[in-house]
Amino acid sequence: MSAAVDLVRRLSTTLSQFSQKKRENWTGRFDFLLSCIGYAVGLGTIWRFPYVCYRNGGGAFLIPYVIYMILLGMPLVILEMGFGQFASLSPISIWKISPLFKGVGVGMVVISALTCIYYNVIIAWTLFYFSQSFRWELPWKSCNNPWNTPLCFTRVADNASDLNATLTKRLLIASSTNGTKWKTASEEFWSHRVLKMSAGIDQPGSPDWELLICLVVAWLFIFLCLSKGIKSSGKVVYVTATLPYVLLLIFIIKGLTMDGAIDGIKFYLLPKWSKLMSFQPWLEAAQQMFYSMGAAWGAWITMASYNKFNNNFYRDAVIVSLVDTLTAFLSGFVIFSTLGYMAKQTKLDISEVVVDGPGLVFIVMPEAISSMPLSPFWAVLFFIFIFFVGVDSQFGMFETVLSSIFDIYPALTRKKYIFTGVLCFLELIVGLACITKGGIYVFQIMDWYCSTFSLMVLSLIECLAISWIYGSTRFYHDMHMMLGRTPSKWWAICWKAITPTLITFIFITNIVTHTPASYGDYTYPTWAIIMGLCLALSSILVIPLMAIIELFKHKGSFVQRLKNATKPTHDWGPADRIRNESYKRKLSGKVAAVIEVSNGDGDVESDGAVPVLKNLSPKDAL
């Protein structure tokens, strides 16, 4: 009898292997983890966190930031990773869990597709600076270039820092009294050499051929890395996700040895405890954590969907959250040690040279690097660092778009190489609008509106749909099935109450404090603002649109349609057919399904395929 049972079990295992849907899995142990770390640690982590930290209390800011990591960032990452791994589906197809909310998945893909357009433009700018760094004297160091104007000045000179500081003050005074706008050599290189800026968005001009080459190279790199799906990108990240940390360590060591570095780090970290008594630091900590973790873009769902069913995604989510926070903190040492050095050289206060956003990477840091010994060498390393940080995030977003399309149209996977190339080409064509003379204005509109409000709406609905409509109890059952244990009840509390409340808080605050897009002193015309709002709404309006379509697919009264549209489809569950059938039997009540979450450990009985969870009725499990 035991021999027969053993034979049945082995046969079941064999059939399970053959019944698995043809979906790739990460081939290496660390492919998934490194891809996730690379995606999470994006350019926003590098160029925004240090600035937000110093502005909101220095070291004291870490307290609300870590609190929000536990209450907001980590719960969302765990939710999306578990969601994607359980069903092995990308953001659109995965809403078999509750078809009424399929528009949430569509919205995620729309945001990722739009962001990929202008995000690769940043990578193109990086490549341009990289190519210009192979010179004995960096071209943004002096005002003796064809693109410079009579209003150009340098804040850092090789042997005349005191004289230069005096000149700087005199120029600043002149600027404030007669309205003349003086610009540093680095600023003019950015605006006149790289961007070749026009006066406004209504004067676009043609694409710049140098930036076009850089943009083509950027998209070619993305294509080569993703043309074979995760089998190729999973190997590339062993370089692109690890090398930035080697360079980060080099920059930290270099920074700490520079004159004025300690002053910069003190400026960055010196706690201002009184700041925590005000509202602003808590708001900005929540905003920074929300955007930093990359939730609601669909990338966590997509990358986790390629995991093996029993992968410990819970451990990976915690590691990624901690690494992202640590990287953001360490990047501040690089930025502020360099700014401290620059302030020392120019005899200016650090507050006068610190900025955030692209201006930090493409104006202030290049200016500071230009005054260092062996400046071309450090410039090359710096832009390699920025390039790899950028492409890792691009991998996650673009793979989300590709996987979503392949899941809907599986036949395209046979032509994956060609289709990936076509999609890269289409994104490149649309991105040409960002490399014209008016391109920076288009870029700013896209960056300002594409994801600011949309991400909060999508993550809020996602959180509520899974925790309340599908049910946190059933989702815990699903997680137990993958992990072999039950995670802490804490996460259910976050998903059902704390995290949605925080997202709502951020959303309302952003609405109240929202200002129309601008670029420096430039104010956009009304039609451009309307265009930006349309971009923002494009990923939100698909939610009610898809919901209406889904309701019309069902029969009966509105209440009956609504009830049926929120139920999981008949094929919802693990991708493996045998595991899926066993999962349904458990939930249907043929075997008592159960979960004990009170002590966080779970009381489990299992027959090997699906865990049996105690003290839960089939109705509760469903």
Task: Point out the annotated binding site.
Answer: 38, 40-41, 292, 392-393
352/337 Cα distance (integer angstroms): 15
Question: Between β-strands 604-606 and 611-613, what pairing exists: parallel, antiparallel or unpaired?
Answer: antiparallel
- Decide: 531 and 448 in contact? Cβ < 8 Å: no
Annotated binding site for Na(+): 38, 40-41, 292, 392-393
Q: What are phi and psi of 600, to 5 degrees?
A: 80, -5
Backbone CA torsion sign across 452, 458, 461, 463: negative
Q: What are phi and psi of 605, to 5 degrees?
A: -125, 135
Q: What are phi and psi of 139, to 5 degrees?
A: -70, -15
Taking the CB of residue 492, how many other CB atoms lie within 10 A of it?
A: 18
Which residues sit opposite 604 in a β-bridge? 613
Angle at alpha carbon of residue 238, lines to 232 and 242, rounded to 5°: 145
Structure tokens that stand for 614 in this block: 């105690």
**CA-based diameter of the chain, in Å?**
98
Query: What 3-state class would DSSP assign to 243?
Result: helix
Angle at alpha carbon of residue 8, lines to 6 and 10, rounded to 5°: 70
Q: What does the DSSP assignment read for 457-494? A: HHHHHHHHIIIIIIIHHHHHHHHHHHHSSPPPTHHHHI
- Decide: 240 and 388 in contact? Cβ < 8 Å: yes
Nearest-10 Cα torsion for 498, 504, 509, 512? -160
Count of positions (residues) in the chain: 622
